[in-house]
Structure 1
Amino acid sequence: MTITIAPMNAGMNNAWEPEIGERTQQFIASKSSGRGAIDMSTVLTEAKSILGHCIPPTAPAGSSVVLVVGYVQSGKTLSFTTLSSLAADNGFGVVILLAGTTTNLKGQSEARLRKDFGLDELQRSWKLFDNPEVNGPSFPAIQSALKSWKRHRDGAALQEKPALVLTVLKHAGRVENAAAALKRLDLSGVPVLIIDDESDQATPNTRARRNRLSGASDESPTYSAVASLRAALPHHSFVQYTATPQANLLLATADRLDPHYAKVLSSGPDYTGGRAFFQDRVKELVVVVPDAETYDPRNPLTEPPQGLQDALRVFLLGIADASRKGIEENRSMMVQAHQNTAPHRQYRSWIRHLLEDWQKGIEAGGEYRDEVLVGFQAAYEELAKTVEELGTFEDLISRIPELTEELRVVEVNSTQQAEKDIDWTSDFYWLLIGGMKLDRGFTVEGLTVTYMPRPIAGNADVLQQRARFFGYRAAYIDYCRVYLRSDARDAFVDYVDNEEFLRAGLKRHEGKPLSVWKRDFVLHGQFASPTRTAVIGRRVARRRASRQWAWPKWMHLGEDIRLANEELFAAVLARTRNEAVDGTLFPDAVDRRSGKRNLAVTGIELEEALEFLLQIRAGHAEDSMLLQAIAMQLARVIREPRNDDPKSAALVFMSELDVPAGPGRQLSVVQENLLVGMNPSGARGAAVNYSGDRTFRSPDEVTIQLRTLALTDSPPPGETYDRVPWFAVSFPDGLSNDWFIET
């Protein structure tokens, strides 16, 4: 077959150029044909870029750390199985997969490896070993397989010898056992690829922040075990895969897992992630449930919540329509109501009783049937909003009694009654109930309906990892619904922008060392942190782009920037002067001074305000972050307005953009407080000459103040600080975007 390689991005600067060999050819061929065929050209191109930034197999020794960032449920496993095939073709003898922190996640990854590498059939490409130990039954076989691989590498074998794949549970004890086993092997000259799946979980040092503050060098158990594993490998590359890289990017620069290079993965055309669910189709696909449906163990619910019943009905009608259309694929529903396992049993009981009750009612006829159908009628109308050629109501209802018998309702948790290993081929229809085990990494096949009335997580990466409903669902996206609390819905809406900002920053930096990239994250104000603070090894500061007023700190930098902003501000004033009124129209504003007035223009379209802000130039990273945070929040308000969001903006031209009389201001004072206070200070009533810059603010609009300052600081040679344009922004209460920036 012919394998097409997509053009490499300019500036990729691979350390070396991997070649495509027989293993990769066979792997690509298996994925590119038959049912569910995938266009592998982009996947292969990206795998080549990742491997090309690993230690070259020809190097005598060394190590590197590469970060790979995908979307949630977007095909990261396919990327690292492609990467593994490519590595084996290019002389890597061992691939080690740190495959999740739970046995079900590890089993899921192993099953995928077996399928992708054809390990359930006789073949000469791979040998798979699970949780290696020095005294384990597989250790002699590992020794023999490594010896055979070396023989083939050295040209002394008559036939090809397989590369080794070692899967290890990401648990300190298991990883230490694997490290001890590898130390017993002669791995000199053997290139090893380590793949850390869900690398932001468990692997980072959870004592990093404490170390930074105290000067200590303590290590958490799993982090220490991974260090031992790497120490046993003279020649290795450590590749971190994750959809939420905040923890990886905030490791200390001296941290052994601090990535040297980052690659952002593309998603395929059929991928439906945050943009699909929370931007393009949020009003169609996301249903808000009352906060009262949140399960509180201290005051538990006594009956199945209405949102759960609605979600279950929509799911049943959806699988009934799939059955009617002859679609023989998995269809699933997920219920994530609480992290504790005790409520899971309650939800399972409720769901089983609902299914039994509805089945009896539909089959019984009469008033009982009519009563049951009332709820289903509303669910049918909900599904009909998005599904074309939906079967008739009576047709779908007639199928539900049979389908309720085929539906597997299981718990996915650590309890005795839970399903430990879901075999998706054993049944078409599943309903999964769980908590933490459904939070991260777990793939739910054919997921259409999610009921998750949980409050938002404190950290952004935790919330995003709950989005199991993302995935390659374009073929049946019209059947999908997500039932969330309003705060969770809003958090997901905002996080989409936050995620895209981070990915865009990483993409712009591709091909360059991560050591020179200043970390910055835009984050909605309701999140406590980008990630858990315990693993943050860098000094980062939180900034806020609202709460009354925010302003940049470095608008004086660069003569070209000052001139461009001065022209921009003057052009806006000239264009709007005929609409401008005295700034004392604002309810708290008082100005009895002589001279140039503060002029205000209200009722400006938010789109126009956003366009203006995007034209302001900044000469410092922190000012750029402020502009980005403001712009992203405005874009969200424009795209998905909420009841209390501003509907327009106001522009205020302080002193008509003239430089205020007087000697000027010190830069340090401007940075600390740009806004001039009341004059005289503390005055009341008629004694107030000027109420202060802060009062020139619209209470229900986004307010943008524009001014021109004279700085008393000495400028660099050839520049002048006589006229420095500056701006400040005020959002109405409750609307904010924060950002974290490395200091």
Structure 2
Amino acid sequence: MTDSAHEETFRNILANILSKTDDSDLAHINEIALEYNALNEKFGMRISDQRAVKIATELASAHKSKLELGATVRNESTFDPWLDERKAKVEMRRGAAYDRLLIERGWGKSVVRTLGRQTDKIVELLGDPEVGASWSRKGLVIGEVQSGKTATYIGVLNKAIDLGYQIVVVIGGHTEDLRRQTQERLDSDLIGDDTSFRSDGASRRLNTRIGVGRIDENIGTTALTSARYDFSMKTAESTTVNLATGNPTVFVVKKNTSVLKSLAKYIRSTAVGDVHNVPLVVIDDESDWASVNTSAKDKERTAVNRAIIDLLSVSRRNSYLGITATPFANILIADDKEARDLFPRDYIMALESPSTYRGVDFYFPPEGDESQNINSGIDDFHELLPQKHKKDAVVNKLARSLKDAILAFFLATAERYRRDGAQSPSSMMVNVSRFNAVQEKFSILIEDYVESVGEAILASAGYFGERSDATPRIIRELQRVANAQFASQNLDVRDLGPELQKVAEDIHIDLVNGLTMKDRNDRLATFTRKSLAEWKQRPAIYVGGNVLARGLTLDGLVVSYFTRRAGAADTLLQMGRWFGHRPGYDDLTRVWMDREVIDHFTYVAGVSQDLRNSVAEMRDLNLTPREFGLKIRLHPETSFLITAANKQRAGVKHDSPGVFSYRGKAFETHTIPNNVQLTEQNRQAVLGLLEMLPAGGAERSSGSRNIYWRGVAHETVESFLHDFSLNTKLPTSKVFGIGSSLPAGIASVGRQCGWTVGLMSGSGKHPVTYLAEADLPYDVDARASYRNNVELSEDGKDLRLSQRRLATGGNIVASVASEERAAALAARKKSKSYSGSNDSERELTQSEVLRAGLKSPMLLIYTVSIGPESTSAVDASMPPEKRNARRRLSELKEVPALVMATPGLSEQETREDLESGGTKFGSKYIVNSVYARLELGLGDWDDVDEDEGAGP
């Protein structure tokens, strides 16, 4: 038995133990692992104790992972419940095998259970395959980048086949690499057979059962595509398959017009009378890419969109499910009145991510401080290759920052090997240009540099472990990068000798772009599954551009060097290949990018969350996709789009008064005046407000220095906002972009319920001077909130806080009254998605509190200052304007800043608000056809100016 087989067997043993283990027993799992390891030594399959403990720890961590049910909205007029009754009559063999497979892989029981409930909901929304009359359903599932969307739709398909779906089509990406990646996953998790053997007839000679097929050998599936080849008429016609009876048939195809047309033609050719009556399900992965109709002509459709619609029509009973992490195009392109379009008219589900997922909030934390995982010092790269360059740009050397990133990859990979006690897949991504020729030049330079580093490491083998200063240069260089990048991990290069040598021996460079794909795919097609797995174990640096930017999963991605800028939010978010699950090494992941891109990523995160909140709001109000319009907040920089202009054809840019509600939102003064006089004026405004608040009403927060006052008169707050100003040209405050007076929607609830005012304390070591020295009727010990990353506006009149964030979502949740938290939790328990496990007030989110808990508007007062130099050393490569911004904030010293949060609308208030038009709060939005028609009063699209409909 091979080492990998030993580990797989050992992992399965522990996974089965954990599947029957209570959380209280998890502390003993390492001891159990060592006992089983010793016992299995008798059978010749013992692995190292270090590796045994590592596997046990990893499985225990996954066991404790949590997953919540996502919000779902559906059109009740097209939905009839059917699943519970059917499941009682059907043996769900595939569903059970899939659950068992996930358990063997170390998925926690609670996550598998929640995933089961989630996939049940989606399967029921697909439609009942036993309904005989013609029907067609369309829906959309939204998940985060690299968060587990594939695991969800595979679970859906296993159950769908159990329940009677006969034809399954998965559109698995726009390149052969992506399609093959999807095919290999479905081979294991749905088909149960290794299709890489099918092309040469080897399946007749070998046992090719894998995944669910290994768990349940009675599962049978016909696959007319393989891990080596996409669908072709020639291959299909050489195989006798009856799509209407017997085993279900699965196709995994590229999102390519000719392939989709050929597939539709073939399926029609096997039907009686040109159209099948067997139930068909089409999964459209990355459904925002190419699937949407971007044609500007009313009676024409783009080729892929038309091909998918034609594919659905091969069966009278069909269901379309779009999967995406960036649904902006899906909701902005489609006209919901067009029956043949792919608009998700029947349902939308927004998936939650497991607690082990590392996404935008991990890399770009909302509190505004930079994550240790992000490096913004890449100006030296742009000096060598400007952001705007041509395909014949001269590239003759690597920037120091890129070399450091490569050395960090050597270190992070070696440290992973050391922690794991074995070799694990590890990769680095270099995405620096969209031009193939430029990528090739970098690939050559990187290969030369990596080779020199590897040779130096191997030549210095005898010096590792030495505690002498007379060490080779490569060891000193590696230690320099270790100190800069992994200070909290205390990496000592001298202790990583064997692991670094292993990296040096195995590392390879892989150029992935449109010019290399054919040769690369041909070469990979010759690999067996075993040889492919061994190849993937080798550490790899992937160099490329757009091919790396969507759908492709880089196993064990630990370091990314990303200098690209995107013109649209969906494109940028898809480029974030570093998002995902990083068990046991999330502290080692590092990303190099510039500050503008960091800001854009944070904005995109907020937009995505707004959209998910809209889905939750739709669900809570029992509205449907056709009844509730969707709106997306635009970036302040109008050149940065939500999605490409041709994907916003059915979207309307809108910023006129009387449209958007200010309720259920949180707003921040993320810009502060670069003006000493205004800063002092705002300090005095804060002191004036605090002097009016009663000492007896002060509520001290346990565990922090925050102070709150409840039931503050609306007139007191409005007067304060009138005195607080961010702009020398505006004598009257326009603090949150809303004008001199609060909108009626806020004023009315403020007058009725009063305000909560909070004086917030940050992480500063010393009391805020202007507060401590004031003659207030109560004691104040507020500390400043450090913000070391600030930028000057172009005119120099304002300072902008990093990532436009002042507070965290936790600040607002912690600031509400106990009865308001209880109300938010009660609303969660009434929700259709309540799983029964997330019943702690400590786990409430900001959106839940604003939507269903907060009863009074809230004003939180912060003091911003520059942090101590010891924790925020200025990067030597930081441009002068960045240093100037930090210097100005330091000179301003203690700058007041504000957060305002408002209660959400009740169901009745929301419907009244929709009828009346709501109130404006100063942001610009782009809205879909439903919102434009129902809330803006726009009818046919011919009434919309062409320029307005084209987007910002």
Q: TM-score, normalised by structure 2?
A: 0.57
Q: Kindly tell me: are residues 101 and 135 of structure 1, through their superposed partners in 2, closer, same or farther at Cα, counting changes over 3 Å?
A: closer
Aligned 8 A contact 2:433 2:564 in 1: yes
Deviation at 1:302, TM superposition (A): 2.6
Distance in 2 (alpha carbons) for counterparts of 1:375 and 1:465: 33
Q: Kindly tell me: are residues 136 and 283 of structure 1, through their superposed partners in 2, closer, same or farther at Cα, counting changes over 3 Å?
A: same
Q: Kindly tell me: are residues 368 and 283 of structure 1, through their superposed partners in 2, closer, same or farther at Cα, counting changes over 3 Å?
A: same
- In the alignment, what sits opposite 1:384? 486
- Map Cα deviations across residues 404-439 of structure 1 (whole Å, 9 max, x no partner): 221121111232486437634323311111111111
Distance in 2 (alpha carbons) for counterparts of 1:319 and 1:396: 10
Residues 34-73 of structure 1 mapped to structure 2, 5 A cutoff:
34-35=105-106, 39-60=111-132, 61-73=134-146
Code of the aligned partner of 1:17: W
Residues 321-332 of structure 1 mapped to structure 2, 5 A cutoff:
321-325=415-419, 326-332=421-427
For residue 56 of structure 1, give the secondary structure of its aligned residue in structure 2.
coil
- In the alignment, what sits opposite 2:873? none
Code of the aligned partner of 1:104: D
For residue 353 of structure 2, give the secondary structure of its aligned residue in structure 1.
coil
Residues 448-487 of structure 1 mapped to structure 2, 5 A cutoff:
448-455=558-565, 457-487=566-596
Q: Kindly tell me: are residues 86 and 601 of structure 1, through their superposed partners in 2, closer, same or farther at Cα, counting changes over 3 Å?
A: closer
Distance in 2 (alpha carbons) for counterparts of 1:555 and 1:439: 36
Deviation at 1:268, TM superposition (A): 1.3
Aligned 8 A contact 2:553 2:577 in 1: yes
Deviation at 1:538, TM superposition (A): 2.1
Q: Which runs of 5+ in 2 are unaligned?
A: 1-15, 21-65, 195-207, 210-216, 464-468, 525-531, 664-709, 749-784, 793-798, 807-894, 901-915, 933-952
Code of the aligned partner of 1:331: S
- In the alignment, what sits opposite 1:565? none
- Map Cα deviations across residues 685-727 of structure 1 (whole Å, 9 max, x no partner): xxxxxxxxxxxxxxx998999xxxxxxxxxxxxxxx9xxx999
Code of the aligned partner of 1:137: T
Deviation at 1:79, TM superposition (A): 1.0
Residues 711-730 of structure 1 mapped to structure 2, 5 A cutoff:
none
For residue 233 of structure 1, give the secondary structure of its aligned residue in structure 2.
coil
Distance in 2 (alpha carbons) for counterparts of 1:462 and 1:569: 45
**Number of equivalenced pairs:** 598
- In the alignment, what sits opposite 1:283? 371
Distance in 2 (alpha carbons) for counterparts of 1:523 and 1:640: 26
Distance in 2 (alpha carbons) for counterparts of 1:272 and 1:290: 23
For residue 284 of structure 2, give the secondary structure of its aligned residue in structure 1.
strand
- In the alignment, what sits opposite 1:680? none
For residue 84 of structure 1, give the secondary structure of its aligned residue in structure 2.
helix
For residue 41 of structure 1, give the secondary structure of its aligned residue in structure 2.
helix
Distance in 2 (alpha carbons) for counterparts of 1:191 and 1:618: 54
Residues 273-422 of structure 1 mapped to structure 2, 5 A cutoff:
273-279=359-365, 282-291=370-379, 293-294=381-382, 295=385, 296-297=389-390, 299-325=393-419, 326-362=421-457, 370-387=472-489, 390-396=490-496, 399-416=499-516, 419-420=520-521
Code of the aligned partner of 1:351: I
Residues 94-133 of structure 1 mapped to structure 2, 5 A cutoff:
94-117=167-190, 118-120=192-194, 121=208, 123=217, 124-130=219-225
Of the three residues 189, 195, 216, the one matched with 2:283 is: 195
Q: Kindly tell me: are residues 97 and 616 of structure 1, through their superposed partners in 2, closer, same or farther at Cα, counting changes over 3 Å?
A: same
Greater mean alpha carbon deviation, residues 135-144 or residues 375-384: 135-144
- In the alignment, what sits opposite 1:252? 335
- In the alignment, what sits opposite 2:102? 31
Code of the aligned partner of 1:329: S
Q: Kindly tell me: are residues 11 and 458 of structure 1, through their superposed partners in 2, closer, same or farther at Cα, counting changes over 3 Å?
A: closer
Aligned 8 A contact 2:378 2:592 in 1: no
Q: Kindly tell me: are residues 589 and 268 of structure 1, through their superposed partners in 2, closer, same or farther at Cα, counting changes over 3 Å?
A: closer
Distance in 1 (alpha carbons) for counterparts of 2:107 and 2:335: 42
Of the three residues 88, 92, 100, the one matched with 2:165 is: 92
Distance in 2 (alpha carbons) for counterparts of 1:641 and 1:614: 32
Residue 272 (structure 1) aligned with residue 367 (structure 2): no
Aligned 8 A contact 1:449 1:481 in 2: yes
Deviation at 1:65, TM superposition (A): 0.6
Deviation at 1:53, TM superposition (A): 1.4
For residue 351 of structure 1, give the secondary structure of its aligned residue in structure 2.
helix
Deviation at 1:322, TM superposition (A): 1.9
- Map Cα deviations across residues 63-117 of structure 1 (whole Å, 9 max, x no partner): 0111011110011111111111110111111111111111111010000011113
Q: Kindly tell me: are residues 601 and 536 of structure 1, through their superposed partners in 2, closer, same or farther at Cα, counting changes over 3 Å?
A: closer
Q: Kindly tell me: are residues 353 and 264 of structure 1, through their superposed partners in 2, closer, same or farther at Cα, counting changes over 3 Å?
A: same
Aligned 8 A contact 1:406 1:429 in 2: yes
Q: Which runs of 5+ in 1 are unaligned?
A: 150-161, 545-550, 558-567, 591-597, 620-636, 650-699, 706-720, 730-736
Distance in 2 (alpha carbons) for counterparts of 1:449 and 1:276: 15
Q: Kindly tell me: are residues 363 and 241 of structure 1, through their superposed partners in 2, closer, same or farther at Cα, counting changes over 3 Å?
A: closer
Q: Kindly tell me: are residues 614 and 359 of structure 1, through their superposed partners in 2, closer, same or farther at Cα, counting changes over 3 Å?
A: farther
Aligned 8 A contact 1:576 1:601 in 2: no
Q: Kindly tell me: are residues 582 and 419 of structure 1, through their superposed partners in 2, closer, same or farther at Cα, counting changes over 3 Å?
A: closer
Code of the aligned partner of 2:177: N
Distance in 1 (alpha carbons) for counterparts of 2:723 and 2:157: 68
Q: Kindly tell me: are residues 615 and 376 of structure 1, through their superposed partners in 2, closer, same or farther at Cα, counting changes over 3 Å?
A: farther
Code of the aligned partner of 1:493: T
- In the alignment, what sits opposite 2:236? 138
- Map Cα deviations across residues 658-707 of structure 1 (whole Å, 9 max, x no partner): xxxxxxxxxxxxxxxxxxxxxxxxxxxxxxxxxxxxxxxxxx998999xx
Greater mean alpha carbon deviation, residues 252-261 or residues 376-385: 376-385
Q: Kindly tell me: are residues 702 and 740 of structure 1, through their superposed partners in 2, closer, same or farther at Cα, counting changes over 3 Å?
A: farther
Residue 438 (structure 1) aligned with residue 548 (structure 2): yes
For residue 477 of structure 1, give the secondary structure of its aligned residue in structure 2.
coil
- In the alignment, what sits opposite 1:543? 655
Greater mean alpha carbon deviation, residues 10-19 or residues 23-32: 10-19
For residue 431 of structure 1, give the secondary structure of its aligned residue in structure 2.
strand
- In the alignment, what sits opposite 1:654? none
Distance in 2 (alpha carbons) for counterparts of 1:10 and 1:219: 29
Deviation at 1:300, TM superposition (A): 2.9
Distance in 2 (alpha carbons) for counterparts of 1:640 and 1:51: 49
Code of the aligned partner of 2:484: E
For residue 53 of structure 1, give the secondary structure of its aligned residue in structure 2.
helix
Aligned 8 A contact 2:146 2:577 in 1: yes
For residue 251 of structure 2, give the secondary structure of its aligned residue in structure 1.
strand
Deviation at 1:451, TM superposition (A): 0.3
Aligned 8 A contact 2:67 2:355 in 1: no
- In the alignment, what sits opposite 1:83? 156
Q: Percent identity?
A: 21
Greater mean alpha carbon deviation, residues 301-310 or residues 193-202: 301-310
For residue 83 of structure 1, give the secondary structure of its aligned residue in structure 2.
helix
- In the alignment, what sits opposite 1:617? 746
Aligned 8 A contact 2:662 2:745 in 1: no
- In the alignment, what sits opposite 1:495? 604
Code of the aligned partner of 1:239: L
- In the alignment, what sits opposite 1:630? none
Q: Kindly tell me: are residues 580 and 11 of structure 1, through their superposed partners in 2, closer, same or farther at Cα, counting changes over 3 Å?
A: closer
Q: Which structure shows the higher helix fraction?
A: 2
Of the three residues 339, 348, 357, the one matched with 1:262 is: 348
Deviation at 1:195, TM superposition (A): 0.5
Aligned 8 A contact 1:132 1:138 in 2: no
- In the alignment, what sits opposite 2:777? none
- In the alignment, what sits opposite 2:323? 241
- Map Cα deviations across residues 607-655 of structure 1 (whole Å, 9 max, x no partner): xx9xx98996399xxxxxxxxxxxxxxxxx9999633345799xxxxxx
Aligned 8 A contact 1:413 1:419 in 2: no
Deviation at 1:47, TM superposition (A): 1.4
Residue 571 (structure 1) aligned with residue 721 (structure 2): no
For residue 181 of structure 2, give the secondary structure of its aligned residue in structure 1.
helix
Q: Kindly tell me: are residues 183 and 613 of structure 1, through their superposed partners in 2, closer, same or farther at Cα, counting changes over 3 Å?
A: farther
Aligned 8 A contact 1:287 1:482 in 2: yes
Greater mean alpha carbon deviation, residues 500-509 or residues 229-238: 500-509
Aligned 8 A contact 2:457 2:501 in 1: yes
- In the alignment, what sits opposite 1:223? 305
Q: TM-score, normalised by structure 1?
A: 0.72
